[in-house]
Structure 1
Amino acid sequence: MSETLAQSGTAYEPTERTVPSRNRSRASYDRDLVHSILDEAYVCHLGFVRDGAPIVLPTLYGRVGERLYVHGSTGSRPARMADPGLPVCLTVTHVDGLVLARSAFHHSINYRSVVVHGTAHQVTDPDELREALDALVDQVVPGRSYDSRPANAKELAATAVLRLDLAEVSAKVRTGGPNDEPQDLDLPHWSGVVPVATRYGTPIPAETLAADVALPDYMTVL
């Protein structure tokens, strides 16, 4: 990637930690691509070190501009370690296809992923905390934060949100079919791609839901 792209603001600046050691052609620092991968998901894996040992936790997140908000509880390990700042590595991955080659060695997957390095801080400002919680809800179901009761004081006191700026970021993408060796092309083994996609089922109303409460319009786009 040229320095011009990074300087123009359309891409993140590569760093030693965001340049892969293998398959560099699959890496991208394009800002729009990173945002699109992040916006399509809502579960991330948050990695950090505690007492000299690595820990990786799955959790929810939401994006607001160039910032990620990561959900937790006030008693969670990341929240307790976030003052004055917690070095973290956050990852998000989509699996788009199973790539089946004629040889076992060349089996692979088609995927889109984002890796974010940085220092996470706990959100303490009340207004930012409410914005962050809305972002977390809307990341899962866009528009839902306006159609649910906001957190009350007791719930806010039990909820921790970490803030992680998007600065040291990279995306990595694999597309296409299997990379079969020329000498394997005549082998009698099926070769190709099995597409993988997320599918949402029909919403099931709560047993306590009043009969006159209709399914919200924003739910029909899931």
Structure 2
Amino acid sequence: EAGQPGGTTLPSARRTLPHSETKITQGSGRSSRCIRAKTPGTWHDSDPTAQVDWSVAVAAWVEATEPILERVAATYNGTIRYEQLRDQLFDETGYRTRSLMTNWISQVLGPVQNATRAEAKPPLTSLVVLTGTGGVGPGYINHEHPAGDFTSDDERQRAAAVDRLTCYRTYCEHVPEDAAPQMTPVYVAKQTRRQKPDPRPRRTCPMCNTVLPASGRCDYCD
């Protein structure tokens, strides 16, 4: 969803995977029996067979996100992948969904970004990066660009690096005094592989400026 820090462009409709079956054991010993119950699209660990209201689950995830990101920021150069954030949200709140993460993560990170901006806190969403690129997603916004109006992805990534350093200086006790904004190691590695080395300069004849053959002798002057 454009303008949201969820990191991905979201489709207009939410897709939910087909119901799955969960084994539930009742009783113990010889009297125990297994029944199969269909897991709803969104549920709580306390009762995996009961559908929970979507807004309740999202509210719980939003509330849990900021403390998680503050813990990430407590480690210098720390980041968290979207999948890791999703799993921690599920485990810490007990609310889970089979809806694809790209369909709902902006509903969680958007309110967190708005809250940090309103409370004059660092943009913690800069710590959430894509697994494939090591950078923030195309939907990233920050305090200076609340509409996500970056002129290029390079500008977006550099702004996120500055924002991450702001987070470390706020939440981490051990930040070098001369620390500078840094891209993540994964992002740097990806960019390095994309950059092709400059071709080796071709030798030319000093007399006629013709490109020399492999022999190094000019066909016209030698």
Same fold, TM-score > 0.5, yes or no:
no
Q: Which of structures 1 and 2 has the larger relative contact order (alpha carbons within 8 angstroms, sep 6+)?
A: 1
Larger Rg: 2
TM-score when scaled to structure 1? 0.23
Q: Which protein is richer in helix relative to its size?
A: 2
